[in-house]
Amino acid sequence: METLLFLGGGILLGFLLRKNSNWRSGVEKSITVMIWVLLLFLGISIGANQQVIDNIHVIGGKAVVLTFGGIAGSIALSYIVYRQFFKV
């Protein structure tokens, strides 16, 4: 419930302050910093979890398969869409 309240408040503030470009650039910079901080804490959390560290080779192998599968699927579907809709 709190998440929806914060989201709604952010939407309202964004709507009210949308014409102030100085405010917007500050928000964009703070979002970037907060993403880096969240990634740091995520890394700390993963590094502190012994079960994850013990199985990193299994998790890494699955991640590699998913990554290459996603890339191959994206390339294949992009090619199909290009041939179907954009090739003259």
Chunked into runs of 10 residues, the chain (88 residues) has average pLDDT values of: 93 86 80 96 93 90 96 97 86
The first and second tokens of residue 10, run together, are: 């952010």
The SS3 call for residue 10 is helix
pLDDT at res. 17: 83
pLDDT at res. 88: 60
Question: Which residues are CB-contacts of 47 (< 8 A; sequence separation ≥ 6)?
Answer: 53
Instruction: Report yes or no: 23 and 17 within 8 Å, Cβ to Cβ.
Output: yes
Name residue, tokens 């901080």: 37
Query: pTM for the full model?
Result: 0.57
DSSP 88: -
pLDDT at res. 42: 94
> Alpha-carbon distance 49 to 78, whole Å?
38
